[in-house]
Every structure is written in C-alpha cells, then in structure tokens.
C-alpha cells in the first residue's frame, strides 16, 4: 500500500479469544464474533482452532476476519472448545505460516495456542531447544512456547505451563486449548491484557472486554498477572505462577490500542481517554475557537478537552471509511492528494478558525505534519496540537511495533523542534503524571517504558 | 450479507465524475481519486472511461473503487478526458452489465455517459425507441439516454443533448464524454447535485464538492438546473435547456447522503446538519445527561443539539469499522449479537444516564429499535430519540432507493406508535420548516416529496 | 502466456449450442455439457442464455466452461430453451463485453443470439445502422445481426431473419433464442458447420455432432446452407433463404478444427483424416523406420500413413497435458526448454531412427522447426515431414484466425525453402486433390480459399 | 469433483526435484520446469524451496505448478540450490500445511526436505519422538524425518541422514537441502525412483528422467537403493547406508505412473510398455478388427499388441483435454453423460467392429465397466479387454494410494466375475512373469506386492 495514507501509529500486535461452552456443538461463531470485535488489534491474518473432545480443527488465513472465514469454513470447525487469534499487518513479509493459533500433536494429545505479546528471550530458548534437537518451522514465539509445554507435560499440563513460565520472559497473554480445557495465561507483569467473562454454559477469554459483549458474554474480571486459569467442565480453576507478581500493564492500551468500549483493570477506556483530555486542557490551555480530534481514536479526549476548556468540540477532519488495504501507486503529482483521501479537512468548519487539534500520539510525525498542513490549507487560522501521551522516546519490546529509536521524534527532537517540523502554532504533550492520573491508577501499575525507558524486564541483550 | 446488521437507511443511487485536463496524458488517477471520495454514494460497482481524442478506453467492475481498479487497469486508461461512476448496491440482482459509464459507438464517433438519478418516463421512451427498431442490452437509463443523443446528433452533440432533455423526465445529473469534450448536464429541477471545479489545465465535474478536494480541484459553482455545460479545449461553455427552470434540490442530500465536507448550493452540509440539530433542540427539548449520535452521519446534528441545549455531547455507540460487505449467516442464537457487532453501546458511558439519541432518519425503524434496546441493555436510564428529518412517508422516484410505502413507518403509524415500536422514552422529529430553515434556503428550492408527497414531476403512472 | 510454447495453428473462432426441450425446467446443464464438448473451438470465454417462456437469464465470463460456470450460476439459468457459446482466445484484447450469447430486449420481446463465423460487410452495415441512429456497445458481429433482426421484426421473427440474411455477407452459423423458439441459421454457403439432433422432448443444435453425444442427443442431419430452422413446441420447421444455395464448407474443419469423433456432411472426421494420411503416403512415400504424429490432431492421419506405407506407427512426441493458459516468463536461457515442456521427444523411441513426422498444417513454421530440432537432438537420424494439407497461402475472412499473408510460409517460400527453414530431411504436402478426395466429397463442395485464393464471396474491400 | 468422471486408477503420491548449480543466482525456474514435467505425479499442491548459502526462501500452495507459481513468487526464490515437490490430490482433506518442501531451522542451520514415498513405522517413531518432547504440526512423514536428522546432526548432516535411515522403514526418495548442499536419498530397497543428471555448473535430482530433459540436464544414472548422494561445490559424493541393499523397485512405475519418455533403471518406460503389449498379445490372443487403447497411458501397450497380433491399431476413445479439477454436480439424468464427457467413443471408428481394448490396470472396475458400455452403445460388436498388469489384489503401503482390499476387484472376484461385471466379451490379464519380462529385468528386482502380497518390508502392524 502507498505509505502516504498510512497512519503514523504504534501498532498492537495481536488479539486472542478463548471459549469453553458445554452446551453446544460448535463455538466457532462465538470465536468469529469475538475476533470481529478485536479486529482493530490485528488485520494481517486470522485463525480459529476448535476441539470437540477428540479432534482438533483449525482454519487460518491472511486477511480480515470476514475474508478468512465463511459459512463453509466455520461450519467445519466443530467443537465446544475454541480459541482464536488476529494478527497485525506489518509492512514487511507476512506469511500464512506465521498465522495463529498454532496446533500441534504432542505426547499428551493435541494442543493449540494463540499468543499476544512478545518474548524477550526467545533467541536463547530456541537455541537451547535446538541443542536438544528441536526444529522450528516458524518464527513465532508460540512455537517456542508450545515446545516448552510439550517438554514439561509429564506431570500435567498445568504444571507444564507453570514450568514454561519459568523459562519465558516478556509479555504474553496466552490462550491454550487441549482436548478438555482452555487455559488463559497472563505474564507475571500483566503487560498484555486478558479478561474473563461468563457465558451460558461456560466461560470466555478475550484480550478486551468489548469482545465479550459481541459474544454474548459478561465481563467477570481481568486475568491477574501471573495467573493461569483453566476452564473445563469443572468450571474455572486458577493457579498462580507467583504471588509476588506486580502489575505493569501497558499504558498504550489506554491511550490508543483498546477499543473505547472496553474495560481494563476496572477502568473504562472511554472514561480514561476523556479524563486525559480534561487533564491535558488543564495542563496546556490555549485560547481557540474549536477543539477537533484526529478521528477516530482521539475523539473521547477531544470531548474531554472541550468540556474542560469550555471551547466547543467540533469535527474538523473527515475520515474516508472506504480506505482499505489496497491502493494504487499515485503519480508524483497525486501523492499529496492521496494523503487527503484518507483524512479530508472539513473546510467549511475550520476556515478562519483557531483550532485545538487533539491526537493520541506522535511517532514519526509525518502524518501530523500532513494534517496540520491540510488544515492550514483549508483556512485554519491557527492549529494548536495537543497530544494525549508524552513523547514516545523508547522502543517497545513487549508486543508493540515501534520504529527504531532513530526514527522516534520524541527521542531525537525537542518539543519546539517537533512543533516546527509539524508546522503547528503550538504543541504540547500531556505529562506522564497527568496521563497516569487519567486512569485512576498509579505509576507502579503501568509499564511506561516507551516514555521513560524504565523497562520492567531486562532488555539489554535483545 | 446478513441483513440484521444493515442500516435502515435510504440509499443514494450513484455518484459521477468528469474531467478535462489538457496538460496530461492520463486523467485516470484523478477520476480514481474522485470516485474514492464519492464511494459513500455507491458501493456496488465502479467504472471509468477515458478518451485521448481518438480512442475510448474503459474499465468497470463490481465492488469498491480500490477493488475494481489497480495500477495495471488504471495504466491502460489513457487520455486527457475522463468520466467515472460509482453505483449503489441494491440487495437484488446486480450485474456488471449494468455498471457505468456506458460507452458506445454512434455515427458521430464514440460517446460515454454516466448517470446519477432516475427517469420517470423510461418505459415510454424505450417503447418508442423499440418501435424504431432499437434493441436494449441493459436495464439502465443511461442506455435510453445515449440512444436519444445518438438519434439527435445530426446537428451536433449539444443540440442532441437538448433535444434529449425534451424527451426525458425525471432526475438526472449526467456526465457525457466525446472525443473532444466532457459535458455536465443537470435536470431542469436540479433534483440531483452536480458541481464544477477548476483544476490546472482544465475543469472537473463531480456529484459533490468533496471529490474536488481530493482531485486537486477548486469548487467554482453548482451546475444550474437545466444547464448543459461543455468543457473542451476552448474552456467551458454553457447553454440552458430552459430559462424557466426552478430549483428543486433533494433535501436528503443535506440530511444524509452528502459528505459533511461537501458544499451544495453554497451551503456547507456540515453547517446545515449542525443547524438542524440546534433547531431540533429548540423544537423538541428534553432533560437529559448526554446527547449521543448514531454514528457517523448524525454527529454534526448531535453536536448542534448539544450546543443549543447545553447538555454535553458524548459518544454512546461504537461503530465497528471493519464490518464490510461479507458476513456469515449467524445461527438463531447469534442473530441478535450480530447487530451489536456493527454498533456496540459504550456501556461505561451510557450506564445510568438519560440519553438523547440523534439520528438522521427513520425508515422501517428496525435498526432504531435494535439500537434503543441495546442502549437500554447497557444501562441507559432513558433514551429520547430525536430525528433530524420529518417522518418519511412517501416513496422517492428520483434516484433514491426507498421501500414501498407499506413499509415506511412514517406513512403508516403515528409518532406515538413509532415511539412505542422502537421502545424509546420519547420520540420527536424536526418540523419540515425547521429542516428547511437549517439550510438557509426556502421551501421552494427543495424537493420535499418524501415528506409531503408534493412531487415536482407527475409520477402517477410509473 | 509465453508464446514459445504456443502452437503454430490456425484457430477456429467459436462454437455454438442450441436446445429446446419441452419436458424440463432447465436445459442449462445440457448446454453446459454441449459447450464442454466444443471447448476445443474456443477457450477465451463461455456463455449460456436460457428462457422459460417469460424471462431470459444469462451468464457469461472469461475462461474455460468449467471456470465460468458452477452449480450456483447454472442453477439460476432456468428455462426449457437455451443457447450457448464458446469463444477463442486471441492474443490481443479480450473483453467480457464481447462474450456471447448477446441478449437484448426489442419490441417483440427478448432475443438472444450466438454466432460462429465472420461477416465481411459488417462495416458497411454498421455504418448504415449508425446513420439510422443505432449505437453499438461491442465490436462483435452478433450486435449487428441482432439490430437487423429487431428492425425487420414487424412481420415476424422468421421473416426478420430472412431479411437479415439479405443484408449480411460472410460466414455464419447462428443460434437465436426467443421466448418460444430456438432458431438455427447457416449462411448460404454453409461456410461454418451446424447440425441438428433429436433429444427426448425436443431438439438440439450444435457446431459439431460430438456435442450431441454428450448432451444425450442423436444426430439427425446438418443444417443446410441457407436454411433457417425453427424449433418450438410445434417441433421443427424449416424455411430456406434461397434454393440456389451452394455448399462451400470449410475444409479446415476436416483437417484440424473439428473433433475426430464428429461427423460433418455425413463424413466421419476421423475417417477423412485417416484417408488423408493414406493418400499422403501414396503421394509422398519415403523409406523410414517409424511414422509419428504431432499430437493430438495428427494421430489419425499418421495411423493412415502407417497403414498405407507399412511403416510402423509409433509415438515420438509426448504432449504435456498440464500446459495451460498461464506460464511464467522464462529467462533467456530457459526459453528453448520452455518449448520442450509442451512437446517432449520420446528419446528412447526416436533415437537412431528415420522418422516420418505427420502434421496437419504449417502456418508460420516456427513450431515445426522447433519440433524437428528437438527430434534431431533426441537422436533421430532423419526427419521427413509430411503435411496433411496443402501450403496455407491465403488469409481467411470467414471466421478463422490466420496471420497476415506476409507471415504465411506457404505464401512466401518454396517448399524447398520451407524444408530448409524447418530443418527437415524432406518435406511434402498432400495435394489439394488428395485432400478433397480424402473426404469423399468433391472440390465444389468446399471453400478452399486458404489454399488457392478462390474466395466464395467477394472480399476485396474488407 | 463429480466422481463419475474420475479415473479408476492407482495414484502416485509425489514427485521431487533437487538442483545445485554454482553458476547462477537463481535455480527457481529450473525447479519450476522440473516440477512441470512431474505434474503427472501429483496435482494437489506444489512447492519450491531455495537457498543462496545464507537464507532459505520457500513458496508452496494448493493446485497445479502454474497455479501456485508466477513470475513474482518465483522471482523471490533466490539461490543456487533448490528443491521442489508436487503432491497428489487425494479426495479427502488436503491442507496447505501438508504441502512440501518442509523448511525448518535446527541447531545446524536451516534444512528443507521433500519426500516421495511412505514410511511404515511413522507411528512408532512419532511416538518415540513425542516421548522426547517433540511436537508435530503436520501429518506428513517429512516432519518425522527432519526431526530425526536434526537430532542426529551433531556429527554432521551425512551421518545424521545415515542414522535417520536406521530408524525409518518404508519407501522414500528424498531431496534434502542445507545451506551448502543438496542431498538425494533413496531407501535401501529403491522402492521409489530417483535419478541424477548433470547440468552446466552442477547437478540435478529428479523422480523421473523426463524432468531432466526439461531442465536442460542430462541423465547420469539412477540413485542406488540405500545411496546418499551429496551435491555441493565439491561436486557429487556418495555414501551408502548399506552395501547389502537389494533393488525392489515399484513395478507400477513401469505400468502406469512414470511418463513414457522417462528411463528408469536403464529401461525405457515406453519400450517396456510396448513390450508388455507384445507379450500380452502372445499370452492372450483374440481375433478382432482393431486394437484400441484407453488413452493416454495404454497407447504404447496397444501399439505393441497391434504389432504383435497384426491387428491394426486405431483410436476408439476420445479424451476430452479440458476436463479439469472442477465440474458441476450433474443431475441424475445427466450423470451417465458426464462420464462420456471425459472419454467419448469414436463411434464412426468402432461401429460394427470387434475391438481389443488395452488398459493398464483394473482397480475397482467402475470406469472399465462404463467404457465397455459406451463402446457397445457406439456399435462395437465385441469388446475384448486386455490388461497390461496382473489383477491388483493387495494394498500398497509404500507411497501408492490403493483402495481397501475389500474394494479391489482382483482380491475379491474371479476373472470371469470381473469380465461379467465390466461387460466385456473376454477379459485377460498379462501374467506376472510376462510383465516382469517386458522390462528386461527379473522378479527379484521388483516389488510386486500389489499383485502377489510379498511385501519387501514387514507391514503387519501398520
């Protein structure tokens, strides 16, 4: 795809679903609905694996959930246990071989696994396993994890998962399916989200609570950091990897990744974003005629900013809903226009106005620059950019696709330089304290490494 | 597609683009960009025809603009003159044979034509032409029109178009391409929109001004009702079918069809929608905690309502951006959930609140009913529905897909009955006067037939 | 497709099917089976139109019959009357718009038409029709023919077809479908074949009798030159355009186009080819160890040659059955090998032998040259080429795709020069008399223009 | 696909290609050409893996070679070492996951493997490996083999392959690719074929010599049973698993699987088939008018039979070249006709004649029955069926897809019963001695288990 109309955003790498529903012969549609709601977490590939107690079925493919599955393929996915996965589309190589869930046979039977997150010691473990004669067919962490579980499975699958957690370091929210159970596993720091819901006849696991709604389930609670929850015909049963686990949830879920209608750690994403807008208004007020959002993710914050500041909220940018994954290669003269195809300034509403433009983050700054330019070209008298996160200055190693530090504006430029680069009349970021405050939790409960470089796990030799 | 997640909306039937640009060898990308911006006017098929002075090329196909065209197909569309078309996806039969533009050879050379609108005397003209030995390969009006033009072409194409306008009755915005010119034609009542823009080296025609922006053109003005504008190497030249033409523009363009960033008859669509929200607030105030919109089209009106009423605007419904044209057939138990996949209540933001829900129109009422139910299920204490158009009570014959009168709630039920049907705590529609007022124009300038049955053209024997 | 592995053959341009079967609700599968058997006559596109007395349905597309149709598309083609068409894939532009049958509405109702052949005065008629205001959407003759029929339809469709035949000149075998009948029409010279068969409940028309077999029908007879046969609930009824019509059937049907299991003018194609082989052996004997055929079309002639000469028949060339319509672009060094992918010499069977290689025709000679080379490379001591048709020296204007005269070896080189060009040890063609003799008919009954330039219709100003 | 038009044949399960060519940057086209020539050995999936010394690339997919690969995908397969695979299409489930080559990372680097054949102790080895913690992602033998190699790789890859051969029992012709070499491996009984050829700058491996021709290579010799040949920049180097290895080549390669232009164990497939026809004529003469073949595989034998008996060879059955892998579901009344679509009797040539019909084998007899019926319906006076192999009475466990013994006619019926079932006037099979004699080799050199049940490897507990 022509890059000029891509967003300049950090990217979540996956979403997972798990379900055990004793009163049905097929949970495939439930998983399908759940994945549909998590589509924002990954658009590269999708997959579902199901089990009816004796046999595992799976189907996966490149593309969006409705492209990968149809009535026929779903119909073949028999079974009352199921897991699913959506994967993010990186710009580089993407193979169907790397799609998840990964289903394997091991001595204990069959096991399927889907993973959201990123391990930081994969290389070392792979090397160790290779020394033991293991061969790897993919480059995904799931293959490493499933090999460990199989190896440790002599004393039962729960124990095997626990021992696997001794080995792997990094961020992981896992759903694991066997012939009789589905497991939810969250890393000891809780870096990636995973929640539990109840449904008639069983239980559901999902990366975000918004998926529960569309599956007909009700949110019970988040899976705890370090918790291993087993769902089977006996109901739910939890063991903990460690009691000392400490929450370090990824704050970017609150800023951008999660859907506004999700609830994480008992906090409404929508509320926290609106709060952040209010705090931003207090921290960085500016006189203006209208508060606008870069759609869609920044709308709650813009509403919050507007309410706090008393400056009216309005729409200043139209998002073309039909811009998808294919686009022609524009000629030189059309390149600039291609950008506007995706986000068009609402000329009549911005012309002659002083605008406060709310965006959730700036990564490379290229899109921000283009938007500010197009607003000015549409007649905006002033464009004051307000960002609902601090400058992103460090790469993430826990499941978020960040560019090299060399490309991160926040790591290399002063705020004034960035303002100058994007052409804004003023630029301000929310403070880290303000951001944390917006959630109602405190600093210790978050991984804030992308802002302050304090990685909760050693990442020196990755 | 499973109907339960379709919108209960009236549907525009087409969008058209025309361009003459003397300084290039290919305008195909310009037309592509323009059609991309008009995609909301039709998602069934797309087509482009170009001409380089000697040869006509065309490509059309079923699907969205980026699905129908790629670098290879666009690359073959040589020429400095071009027209394009997007067509709406009706639920019934849709054949590629009915895609437009329609390109034919006639005695004067080649002619291509694209049409937005609907003729009301097609049957009679077809019958007459058939008596003269004409055969028809499609069921589209364009084939009738192009046959008339060819027949009358002895005294030149302009005269032929004028004589054709003597024959055809109904709504039409046409772009017509010959080897040396592109024509824009608007019916004498101006029922369907068409505007003119300037671009380096030439001129552009488009159903909506939003397309001009993305083509790099600047809006000059609307084509007048009854105007025939010819664009060629001599520039633009206009003749008028009749001086007595009277504007009767379709008010639904302002309510729902047009993109908010378009300007029609010098009125900003965004502004008129926001105004309508304000007027609605004055006409039908109600005490509540939050004003929400049914996304995306009702957002400007909701903002207007909020500003006027002083009740804060907020988001109450999440639209799933990935719901496309394919969807599985949900089992009985999943059917209700399928609806929520598309529009999910923002539980945390609506729970316990008294809501004013702004929607642009109610046609059959089925979607409204589902939304109100889901908001209540999400904890909304009250849901007051406010509609930014009067009850739709009459079918349209001028290019809008309306259900049978028997299915129009507004034709068959009192407002109280409708309120009861959709389960709202209160329901109110903007007055026809209020709606007209929101645009700044007056009653005489609009076709309001879908509300009051006063058809500007005889439609008794269709 | 990479041209190096294409055959150097003349190409038939179409095959047609017609059926009327009163005892069924759907003849679509019958037409499908018939087209399947005529696939060798055209691989570019396929189409079927059916009629149930009130409504016409059609489906057509690019590709082979099994690619264009599936259970779903066939299931929609309701009706007890049907026609079908397969079209040959030229290397140039091929549009679905040019696929047949062509279905139109005219004053008398609906009419569908499929055409095998080529008119020589299309241009003049089109011009005349254009003067009357007719517009043309395609470049196919069928559109011209259907316009004429519609124009003359006041006195009934039969009369209209007869009057149409007054106008059109050239080669045509037509099937025409109305709401109550299917017509078979053959040009007054019978240039292109068309035969009639009986089937339970009705009758069948087909370009070749081999299609009748697979439709469950029995051959009755060929349609006569100049005959118009109407099949309806009354049975069959024939009128004749002219009593003076004179048979001028295309002799290339016997040489190459028709399937060996077809019977034309009461002559078995297989037998006539075998006879031709025998006659060739008498005319041009040569001492050798084995007679081989260029598969598949030359096998009967090779068997005939072998029987007559007493030299054993054997296989010398393997045809790769999987070489289809897509192929990669081979690098320079692989180009020569690409040719052998399609036809591989059977090394073990040709090594050290003196071969007589039978081929049906030489057009440009490029493939012959490659085959002789590869046989020599495989160890053949001698390769004596014997051709079962005289040198092709004139272009065809009646429905066969021939290269320009400048590219026809037979028009520009002596036999010795051709022998030298293709590298054969000897080369001989059957005499025109011998070829005609092989069919059992006489000179007057054939169009032999491609060999002797005596065109049965004036073609000077095409 | 509708089964009625499938052949009643045993099916080969795969074909493999290997190449090392030091003087190029890409061998992908060579492998593509080779696979094209082996397409008859497998039409389900195709795959190629290449290596340039540092990186492995691969591409595989469902379908025919030209469907799986195009210029773009081939272009990405960089490297001077390559292997390829085609796989047979079973009627059951076929997943892209089971396509080969299988490429993995192991401690020694990367290894890719393609396998033709079938192991008989897979289950036991898998179980053993699973006890060691190995997980399996596919159901193909290649995954078992590659795990063993990886496990034994400490002392070098050659040694690892040798140790792997200690473990696996069954039929296997392998090509194995590492970063610096390609290996050819043949099981100690030589059950499945594999040959070596020379090419400019390197060497080639292929299941059949016909592939060498189209790759531009020259046959050197067959890989010996039990031989491991390494091809690298040092040239070729062979080690032997065991000196006691005894040839037990599959005789069905000579009867049906291999292409006639291949040479195996220095025997021309074409010659051996023709010989078999001669011997069959001596063993089972019958008075008749014409010898016909069931095309294509039985033609050489039919020519041999004709030559020996003095009865002329002729064509009696037309094979439709366009019958592919998709076909509609015929209605009841069309079912019988569907069979004739594929093989149509050449009525004019068989009518009134006493025929000897040569076929290579009878498995379930259903197709034979249909063909005999259709020949009789076409007027054949007598049909004498002669089979160029003895009755197939035992299932194969070494890589050939045979039905259950219960469905094998040869295991359950007398010859007279079979004759009666297929409706022939007489039926005779070649003797096992005659068949072996046709190859010029002797009994001990073949696996004849499908005829006599003498399995060269214990298969009791599969």
Report H helices in B2-156: 28-37, 65-68, 71-76, 122-131, 141-151
Give residue-wise pLDDT tens across range C393-405: 999 999 888 888 8
CB D209 within 8 A of CB D191: no
List, in sequence order, every beta strand (DSSP E) within B245-367.
249-250, 263-264, 267-268, 290-293, 317-319, 343-345, 354-359
Q: Number of A to D CB contacts under 8 A, please give it.
A: 63
Nearest Cβ partner for D321 among C65, C270, C321: C321
Of all residues in chain B, the percent with pLDDT exceeding 70 is 95
CA distances from A459 to A170, B281, B357 (A): 9, 57, 49
Q: What is the mean pLDDT of residues A190-215?
A: 96
Q: What is the mean pLDDT of residues B59-68?
A: 91
More confident residue, D403 or C203: C203
Confirm or reject contact between D41 and chain C (CB < 8 A). no
The active-site residue out of B5, B10, B14, B441 is B14
Of all residues in chain D, the percent with pLDDT exceeding 70 is 95
Q: Give chain A positions within 8 Å (CB) of B300.
A: 315
CB B373: neighbour CB atoms within 10 A?
17
Whether A196 is covered by a domain: the verdict is yes
Contact C213 D322 (CB under 8 A): no
In angstroms, the CA B365 to CA A266 distance is 35
Is the pLDDT score of A293 beyond 70? yes
- Asked about B14 being catalytic, the answer comes back as yes
Q: In 3-state terms, what secondary structure has residue C153?
A: helix
- D61 plus D153 within the same structural domain: yes
At A405, is the pLDDT very low, low, confident or very high (cuts 50, 70, 90)? Answer: confident
Distance from CA of C454 to the nearest CA of D (A): 32
Contact B135 C127 (CB under 8 A): no
Confirm or reject contact between A64 and chain B (CB < 8 A). yes
State residue B461's pLDDT score: 57
| CATH of residue D358 | 3.40.50.2020
Whether B264 is covered by a domain: the verdict is no
Residue of D nearest to A153 (CA): D133
Nearest Cβ partner for C33 among D29, D270, D337: D337
- D237 plus D349 within the same structural domain: no
Is the pLDDT score of B305 beyond 80? yes
- A211 plus A321 within the same structural domain: no
Contact D136 A106 (CB under 8 A): yes
Confirm or reject contact between A321 and chain B (CB < 8 A). yes
Element (H, E) at A339: helix A335-342
> What is the residue whose two structure tokens read 């009639």?
C196
Candidate from C231-240, D305-314, D320-329 with smallest mean pLDDT:
D320-329
At A92, is the pLDDT very low, low, confident or very high (cuts 50, 70, 90)? Answer: very low
Residue of D nearest to C321 (CA): D321
Is the pLDDT score of D97 beyond 80? no
Whether D95 is covered by a domain: the verdict is yes
Element (H, E) at D82: strand D81-87
Last residue of a domain, one of D247, D282, D298: D247
Confirm or reject contact between C37 and chain D (CB < 8 A). yes
At A462, is the pLDDT very low, low, confident or very high (cuts 50, 70, 90)? Answer: low
Copy the structure tokens of residue B461.
Answer: 């024997």
At A183, is the pLDDT very low, low, confident or very high (cuts 50, 70, 90)? Answer: very high
- B87 plus B220 within the same structural domain: yes
Q: Which subunits sit against D, judged by 3+ Cβ pairs under 8 A?
A: A, C
State residue C459's pLDDT score: 81
Of all residues in chain A, the percent with pLDDT exceeding 70 is 95
In angstroms, the CA C176 to CA C183 distance is 5
Nearest Cβ partner for C147 among B96, B131, B135: B135
Q: In 3-state terms, what secondary structure has residue A12?
A: strand
In angstroms, the CA D28 to CA D51 distance is 10
Burial class of D25 by CB neighbour count within 10 A (0 to 12, 13 to 18, 19+): exposed
In a mutational test of the D interface, the residue from C318, C321, C370 whose CB has the highest number of chain D CBs within 10 Å is C318
Whether B449 is covered by a domain: the verdict is no
Whether A157 is covered by a domain: the verdict is yes
In angstroms, the CA C269 to CA D348 distance is 9
Q: What is the mean pLDDT of residues D418-437?
A: 97
The active-site residue out of D5, D10, D13, D14 is D14
Distance from CA of C101 to the nearest CA of B (A): 11
In angstroms, the CA D186 to CA D166 distance is 13
Distance from CA of D109 to the nearest CA of C (A): 31
Confirm or reject contact between B111 and chain C (CB < 8 A). yes
Distance from CA of A137 to the nearest CA of D (A): 5
State residue B92's pLDDT score: 40
- D373 plus D229 within the same structural domain: no
Q: Give chain A positions within 8 Å (CB) of D105.
A: 126, 130, 135-136
State residue B1's pLDDT score: 37
- C156 plus C286 within the same structural domain: no
The active-site residue out of C10, C14, C129, C215 is C14
- D121 plus D185 within the same structural domain: yes
Confirm or reject contact between D88 and chain C (CB < 8 A). no
Q: What is the pTM of this model?
A: 0.91
State residue C346's pLDDT score: 94
State residue D233's pLDDT score: 95
CB B131 within 8 A of CB C107: yes
DSSP B425: S
Is the pLDDT score of C137 beyond 50? yes
Query: Cis bond leading into C101, ω under 30°?
Result: yes
Whether B139 is covered by a domain: the verdict is yes
Nearest Cβ partner for C135 among B96, B126, B150: B150
Residue of A nearest to B274 (CA): A314
Q: Give chain B positions within 8 Å (CB) of C111.
A: 135
Is the pLDDT score of D89 beyond 80? no
Q: How far is CA D445 from the centre of its chain?
A: 18
Nearest Cβ partner for A303 among B313, B320, B338: B313
In angstroms, the CA C50 to CA C28 distance is 7
Contact B345 A261 (CB under 8 A): yes
Give residue-wise pLDDT tens across range C11-46: 777 999 999 999 999 999 999 999 999 999 998 899
Average pLDDT, chain D: 92
- Listed residue (A224, A221, A196, A194) closest to A207, CA to CA: A194
- D220 plus D318 within the same structural domain: no
- C176 plus C308 within the same structural domain: no
- D46 plus D191 within the same structural domain: yes
Q: What is the mean pLDDT of residues D247-271?
A: 94
In a mutational test of the C interface, the residue from D315, D316, D330 whose CB has the highest number of chain C CBs within 10 Å is D315
CB C77 within 8 A of CB C26: yes
In angstroms, the CA A160 to CA A153 distance is 5
- In degrees and rounded to multiples of 5, residue A409 shows phi and psi of -55, -45
Give residue-wise pLDDT tens across range C156-190: 999 999 999 999 999 999 999 999 999 999 999 99
State residue A331's pLDDT score: 86
Binding site feature residues of D for Mg(2+) = 297, 359-360
Domain tally, chain D: 2
Nearest Cβ partner for D341 among C37, C300, C322: C37
Q: Give chain A positions within 8 Å (CB) of D106.
A: 130, 133-136
Q: Number of C to D CB contacts under 8 A, please give it.
A: 160
| CATH of residue C117 | 3.60.20.10
Segments forming the whole domain that contains residue D342: 270-440
Is the pLDDT score of A356 beyond 50? yes
- Positive or negative, the CA dihedral A353, A354, A356, A361 is positive
- Listed residue (C267, C205, C281) closest to C236, CA to CA: C205
In angstroms, the CA B21 to CA B185 distance is 19
Q: Give chain C positions within 8 Å (CB) of B127.
A: 107
Burial class of C235 by CB neighbour count within 10 A (0 to 12, 13 to 18, 19+): exposed
Q: Give chain B positions within 8 Å (CB) of A327.
A: 66
Complete DSSP assignment for C367-420: HHHHHHHHHHHTT-SEEEEEESS----S---SSEE---GGG-HHHHS-HHHHHH
Confirm or reject contact between A324 and chain B (CB < 8 A). yes
Contact C337 D214 (CB under 8 A): yes
Contact D329 C71 (CB under 8 A): yes
Give residue-wise pLDDT tens across range D145-184: 999 999 999 999 999 999 999 999 999 999 999 999 999 9
- D204 plus D290 within the same structural domain: no
Q: Give chain D positions within 8 Å (CB) of A146.
A: 135
- C177 plus C222 within the same structural domain: yes
Binding site feature residues of A for Mg(2+) = 297, 359-360
Give residue-wise pLDDT tens across range B206-257: 999 999 989 999 999 999 999 999 999 999 999 988 766 688 999 999 999 9
In angstroms, the CA A159 to CA A401 distance is 32
Whether C450 is covered by a domain: the verdict is no
- In degrees and rounded to multiples of 5, residue D209 shows phi and psi of -70, -20
Q: Which subunits sit against B, judged by 3+ Cβ pairs under 8 A?
A: A, C
Element (H, E) at B7: none
At A461, is the pLDDT very low, low, confident or very high (cuts 50, 70, 90)? Answer: low
Strands B102-106 and B81-87: unpaired
Confirm or reject contact between B248 and chain C (CB < 8 A). no
Is the pLDDT score of B329 beyond 60? yes
List, in sequence order, every beta strand (DSSP E) within D187-329.
195-199, 202-206, 218-222, 227-232, 235-240, 249-250, 263-264, 267-268, 290-293, 317-319
Q: Give chain B positions within 8 Å (CB) of A270.
A: 315, 346, 348-349
Contact A146 D135 (CB under 8 A): yes
Let me know the angle formed at the C-alpha of C434 by C428 and C437, rounded to the nearest 5 degrees: 160
Q: What is the CA radius of gyration of chain D?
A: 23
Of all residues in chain C, the percent with pLDDT exceeding 90 is 80
State residue A433's pLDDT score: 97
Binding site feature residues of A for [4Fe-4S] cluster = 250, 396, 447, 450
Q: What is the mean pLDDT of residues C194-201?
A: 97
Whether C58 is covered by a domain: the verdict is yes
Of all residues in chain D, the percent with pLDDT exceeding 90 is 80
At B187, is the pLDDT very low, low, confident or very high (cuts 50, 70, 90)? Answer: very high
State residue D3's pLDDT score: 45
Q: Do chains D and A touch (3 or more CB pairs under 8 A)?
A: yes
Nearest Cβ partner for A107 among D131, D151, D153: D131
State residue B3's pLDDT score: 45
CB D51 within 8 A of CB D6: no
Contact C104 B132 (CB under 8 A): no
- In degrees and rounded to multiples of 5, residue D73 shows phi and psi of -65, -40
């Amino acid at each position: 795809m022509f890059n000029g109309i891509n967003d300049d955003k950090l990217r979540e790498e996956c979403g997972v679903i798990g379900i055990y529903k004793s009163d049905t012969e097929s949970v495939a549609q439930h998983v399908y609905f759940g994945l549909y709601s998590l589509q924002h977490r990954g658009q590269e590939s999708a997959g579902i694996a199901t089990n009816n107690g004796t046999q595992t079925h799976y189907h996966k493919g490149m593309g969006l959930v409705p492209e990968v599955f149809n009535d026929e393929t779903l119909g073949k996915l028999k079974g009352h246990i199921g897991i699913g996965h959506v994967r993010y589309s990186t710009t580089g190589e993407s193979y169907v071989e790397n799609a998840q869930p990964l289903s394997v046979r091991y001595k204990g039977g069959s096991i399927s696994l889907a993973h959201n997150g990123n391990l930081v010691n994969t290389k070392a473990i792979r090397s160790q396993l290779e020394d033991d004669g293991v061969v790897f067919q993919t480059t995904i962490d799931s293959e490493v994890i499933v090999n460990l579980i199989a190896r440790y499975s002599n004393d039962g699958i729960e124990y095997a998962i626990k021992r696997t957690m001794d080995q792997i370091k990094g961020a992981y929210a896992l759903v694991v399916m066997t012939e009789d159970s589905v497991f939810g596993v969250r890393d000891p720091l809780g870096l990636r989200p995973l929640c539990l819901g109840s449904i008639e006849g069983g239980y559901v696991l999902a990366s975000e609570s918004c998926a529960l709604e569309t599956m007909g389930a009700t949110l019970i609670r988040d899976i705890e950091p370090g918790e291993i929850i087993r769902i089977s015909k006996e109901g739910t049963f939890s063991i903990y990897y460690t009691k000392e686990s400490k929450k370090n949830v990824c704050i970017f879920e609150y800023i951008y990744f999660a859907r506004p209608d999700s609830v994480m750690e008992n906090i409404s994403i929508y509320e926290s974003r609106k709060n952040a807008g209010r705090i931003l208004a207090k921290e960085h007020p500016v006189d203006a005629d209208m508060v606008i959002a870069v759609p869609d993710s920044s709308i709650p914050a813009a509403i919050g900013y507007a309410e706090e500041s008393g400056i009216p909220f309005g729409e200043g940018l139209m998002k073309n809903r039909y811009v998808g994954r294919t686009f022609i290669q524009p000629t030189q003269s059309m390149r600039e226009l291609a950008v506007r195809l995706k986000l068009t300034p609402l000329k009549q509403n911005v012309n002659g106005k002083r605008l406060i433009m709310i965006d959730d983050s700036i990564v490379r700054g290229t899109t921000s620059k283009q938007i500010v330019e197009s607003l000015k070209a549409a007649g905006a008298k002033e464009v004051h950019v307000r960002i609902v996160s601090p400058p992103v200055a460090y790469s993430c190693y826990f499941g978020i696709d960040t560019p090299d530090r060399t490309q991160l504006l926040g790591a290399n430029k002063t705020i004034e330089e960035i303002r100058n680069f994007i052409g804004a009349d003023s630029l301000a970021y929310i403070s880290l304290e303000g951001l944390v405050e917006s959630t109602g939790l405190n600093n210790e409960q978050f991984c804030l490494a992308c802002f302050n470089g304090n990685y909760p796990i050693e990442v020196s030799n990755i």
